[in-house]
Structure 1
Amino acid sequence: MTKETNTNQKAARQRALNRINLLSSILVFGTGLILFTQFHVVENPYPTEWYGLEKSIWLIIHQLSAIAFFIGLILHIQLHWKYLKTVIRRWSSNLPKKTRSKIRMQILFLLVTVVVLTTGFYPWIAMPGATIQMERYDLWIDIHNQAGLLYLVGMSVHIIRRWRWIFRFTKGTQHSIKRYPAKMQQKT
């Protein structure tokens, strides 16, 4: 296996993971927004369902997609661990201002991620049922909601900046097959 093939396979795995993470992000943010707008900040003080699904169903979908999101996040960080170590090691050197600014934004993004995950998982684990009951003003859930909205903006920017790279896989594969047909046939 050549180095180029290995690099292409690694890039393909990263793109596949990014697509799975995108899907789990859409689910977790979508259900989070539904829970927030339809069950937390509404005129009806204690609504029980939206579009025919009870709050508990929306919450289960949100929690399951949050678990998938968390697993995807861990895998995403693991894939980029070398980059993270390099950034940390070079932080004290003279990095360009633009690079430092990007790194600061990524650190802030990671901190908001930790806040959202902690404030989301803690009530679910430590206070079972509290998120299903109509305890609208629970501090943990309020922090989770507010940080989640901030995180939604950050995640949107993060995805938009990488959109072409994430969805370039198909074109790149077709291009590689057209460009190197003999190599592809020899490998099989």
Structure 2
Amino acid sequence: MIIDDFYLKSQIRSVPDWPKPGVLFRDVTTIFENPKAWRGVMDSFIHRYMELDFSHIGAMDARGFLIGSNLSYVLNKPLVLFRKKGKLPAKTLSVEYDLEYGTASLEVHADSLHKGDRVLLVDDLIATGGTLLAAVQLIEKLGAKTIEAAAIMDLPDLGGSRRLQNAGVPTFSLCAFEGE
């Protein structure tokens, strides 16, 4: 079942004033709790990517892991985890980046990608693009290429999709909350 924009948006909970006053938080945990919505999300991603030429799926900590692990299994692609600092046990590469509410560090295992690998990045949303752009930097440091950054939803007013596209990374989302 391919999910439509109207239904998907109706399944995302809006939480006003979280994590701080003035922010309208879009909560996708309601999708994970609804088997029909979750299947629709995954079927839509699977349909989009089943014929695309790429070698790895890069999943963003933490909700991106849910999407990435499902895609990895169904499409038979290796899964690369991009984690918050200090969560990976072996040798890592790290990059510092800006978030909507501060700064953070993202890491990946140093041996997870190689020259010529083509990576599809997945996460729950594209907001400012900071985390995804940090992953793109790590992918490039390992000699690989990002072919697209995909998410359940885009918040285009925060500029992340535009920043990714300006960096040469195509973006895709199943829905967008514009002007909200």
TM-score interval for Structure 1 and Structure 2 normalised by the shorter chain? under 0.3
Larger radius of gyration: 1
In terms of fraction of residues, the more helix-rich structure is: 1
In terms of fraction of residues, the more strand-rich structure is: 2
TM-score scaled to structure 2, two decimals? 0.23
TM-score scaled to structure 1, two decimals? 0.23
